[in-house]
Amino acid sequence: MSAQTELEILSPGAFASIQDGGRHGFRRIGVPWAGALDRRLMRIANALAGNAEDAPVIECFDGGLHVAASGGAVKIAVAGDAVVEVDGTDGRRQLAPWRSVTLADGEQLRIRKMGGGRIAMVAVAGLALPAVMGSASTYVRAGLGGVDGRALAAGTRLALADADPWGSDRVLTQPPEADASPIRLVAGPQDDHFDAAALEALVRGDYRVTAEADRMGIRLEGAQLAHAGAAEIVSDATVPGSIQVPGAGQPIVLLADAQTAGGYPKIATVITADLGRLAALRPGSTLRFARVTAAEGARIARAAEAETRALIAAIRPLPADGIDLVALYTGNLVDGVVHALGTDYRPLH
Amino acid sequence: MSYRILDAGDAALTIEFGSVIDPALLAAVNALDAAILRLQQAGALPGVIETMPTFRSLTVFFDPLATDRDTVLAALQPLIAAAEHGAPADGRHWRLPVCYEGEAAPDLAEVAQTLGIGEDEVVALHSGTEYLVYMLGFLPGFPFMGDLPERLRLPRRAQPRVRVPAGSVAIATGLTAIYPWESPGGWHLLGRCPVPLFDARRAAPSLLAAGDRVRFAPVSAEQCRAIEAGLRNGELDPMQWLEAAPTPAENAA
């Protein structure tokens, strides 16, 4: 008899929820996609944990997530620029992100803080949650998905399906580099509801991320965007990335959990490839926008997908007895290894 | 009817038939939506994820890795041309109970006063009209219905509420709606509908669909509580408030 293996949430940190590839097909009845805000991070985390790329992960904001293996060993992987700490049977140590690690029963992992950005994705081998309307993604507003439709809370126990947690751990040898280049947008659908100078103003100056930034959207502060007529339209569909501008003239970018329709004109739309980067911006930070055409946006999406696939293809097993230097030299990935593992690297078991 | 193609980023485009609330625009939107669904089900629209019909436009979501804007548009052009002359599909007819009393109707007195008519008259006008479900959203299962009788038309509240309780029946401008979820909101609250409009466990989670027709039947606070209890313990089925549904043949015609 073995006890059920679980991952216990000791603390969710600032905010953590279960997300996957999203809930599609129900926007027509007002249900947004929800799903991971940064799909690339989700896919990398799952690949590191040996899961399907779209499997449910723990998406956490601003660090603080603290979990423990309970009832058995748990393989867990962190994607994102996170400072990770493990409380193991033989003491506390820092661990590089972008790798998986196997926690023995009772061992704990904590995201102490974020090095950059605010989102980390934590994948857990064998994490399976019931799909609600086709997805395990949490959509708090309507209580759908995740654990009882709610954000993760201290004391939540996530049951894990049988997986072999003692299989070789994996490492992403060349993590994606921080990208501070402008967030790209496509004009429209309602750019004609604005003063001719508004689109120019949107891409010319800096915008600051306000404290109102969550899974629904990000309220920005910067150059005023003047409407050409009324600041309201008869409601039409929003998309993830819609930049709506209420009467005050300050833009709000809608994200995965946003309302599916809205009555404010939408001056432009952030391209899909840049949504994850945008969602990860911290309140108080600044950004710039750059304009592209829809066709350029699609080309960027394809290039980003190729990049993601290359990153995932570069994931290597991490031998339990240390670094397989031969394989890494053959892969010409030594610089990445140093970055990924840091000087604090030490195999856990 | 003319239309415009609007870009909504690299993964969606909007076909806009007009800029106002008008049943004729809705007929075109719903005809196009139905035609796209048929093509999708036949596997003839690879890369199209879903559509979102609204009062006056249809947004098509696609995967830019699996198709592109021009391919999607080329496939849609003949459907758009046909939809412009689309006749309104006959939706289902519902008669939903609403309690227009006491705590369930926090704005009834103020609305009556502002309009200069009696509270009874407000209730009679609101419950004596058949409404068309124009669209669902912004929240799951939230129906935008119209048109309100001219005498009930008011702008939104100057001070939106932080918390509108789930089940609230509300009016603003020419529309009426039922809030399926607690939410902030700026509409005037006239009553409470005890029938849940959204339930993820149902095969069709949203009770209402765009194109349906809805009338309201006034019930007392006591009846309202009894209906809620009956729905909770499974003695009542929300489908009992469905009065009539078109046969598939009628809608295919």
Length of chain B: 253
Instruction: Write the pLDDT tens digit of every residue in B51-76.
Output: 999 999 999 999 999 999 999 999 99
In chain B, whose CA is at the least distance from the CA of A25? B50
- CATH code for A183-295? 2.40.100.10
Contact residues on chain B for A275, CB-CB shorter than 8 A: none
Cβ–Cβ gap A234/B11 under 8 Å? no
User: Tens digits of per-residue pLDDT, A13-47?
Assistant: 999 999 999 999 999 999 999 999 999 999 999 99
Contact present, B58 and A261 (Cβ < 8 Å): no
Chain B residues whose beta carbon lies within 8 Å of the beta carbon of residue A269: 7-10, 12
Q: Is the pLDDT of residue B252 over 80?
A: no
pLDDT of residue B253: 43
The predicted model gives B126-155 an average pLDDT of 96
Tell whether the model's pLDDT for residue B250 goes beyond 60.
Answer: no
Percent of chain B with pLDDT over 70: 97
Residue A323: band (very low, low, confident or very high) from pLDDT cuts 50, 70, 90: low
Query: What pLDDT band is residue A163 in, cutting at 50, 70 and 90?
Result: confident
**Which pLDDT does position B249 carry in this prediction?**
58
Instruction: Answer whether A181 touches B (CB < 8 Å).
Output: no
Instruction: Report the alpha-carbon distance of residue B16 to residue B5 in Å, rounded.
Output: 6
Q: Cα distance from B234 to chain A (closest Cα, Å)?
A: 20
Output the average pLDDT for chain A. 91
CB pairs under 8 A between A and B: 158
pLDDT digits 0-9 by tens, A177-190: 889 999 999 999 99
Structure-token pair, residue A88 = 């193991």
Q: What is the pLDDT of residue A2?
A: 57
Query: Testing the interface with A: which of B3, B5, B6, B10 to mutate, by most A Cβ within 10 A?
Result: B10
Task: Verify whether the Cβ–Cβ distance A237 to B57 is below 8 Å.
Answer: yes
Is it the case that residue B45 has pLDDT exceeding 50? yes
User: What percent of chain A shows pLDDT beyond 90?
Assistant: 84
Contacts of B47 in chain A (CB under 8 A): none
Q: Mean per-residue pLDDT for A260-285?
A: 97
Residues 6+ apart with CB under 8 A from B99: B105, B191, B192, B193, B194, B218, B219, B220, B221, B223, B224
pLDDT digits (tens, 9 = 90+) for A47-57: 999 999 999 99
pLDDT of residue B188: 97
Kindly report whether the global pTM for this prediction surpasses the value 0.95.
no
Q: Decide if pLDDT at A321 tops 90.
A: no
Looking at residue B194, its pLDDT comes to 98
Answer yes or no: are the C-beta atoms of B91 and B213 closer than 8 Å: yes
- List of chain A residues whose C-beta atoms are within 8 Å of the C-beta of residue B11: 239, 272, 297-298, 301
pLDDT, tens only, A97-117? 999 999 999 999 999 999 989
Q: Is the pLDDT of residue A340 over 90?
A: no
Nearest to A261 among B50, B54, B183 (CB): B54
| Of the partner residues A241, A261, A302, the one whose CB lies closest to the CB of residue B65 | A302
**C-alpha distance from A250 to closest chain B C-alpha (Å):** 19
3-state secondary structure B140-185: CCCEEEECCCHHHCECCCCCCEEEECCCEEEEEECEEEECCCCEEE
| Helix, strand or coil, per DSSP, at residue B120 | helix
Residue A345: predicted pLDDT: 38
Whether ipTM exceeds 0.90: yes
A266·B56 Cβ contact <8 A: no
Buried b (16+ CB within 10 A) or exposed e, A140-163: bbbbbbbbeeebbeeebebebeeb
Q: What percentage of chain B has pLDDT greater than the value 90?
A: 89
- For residues A221 and A210, give the distance between their C-alpha atoms in angstroms, rounded to a whole number: 7
Query: What pairs with residue A132 in β-bridges?
Result: A135
Structure confidence at residue B214 as a pLDDT band (50, 70, 90): very high
So what's the pLDDT on residue A89? 86
In angstroms, the separation between the Cα of residue A181 and the nearest Cα of chain B is 18
Instruction: Report the alpha-carbon distance of residue B26 to residue B133 in Å, rounded.
Output: 10
The domain ranges of chain A are: 6-171, 183-295
Q: What's the pLDDT band for A223 if we cut at 50, 70, 90? A: very high
pLDDT, tens digit (0-9, with 9 covering 90-100), for B147-197: 999 999 999 888 889 999 999 999 999 999 999 999 989 999 999 999 999
Amino acid symbol at A254: L
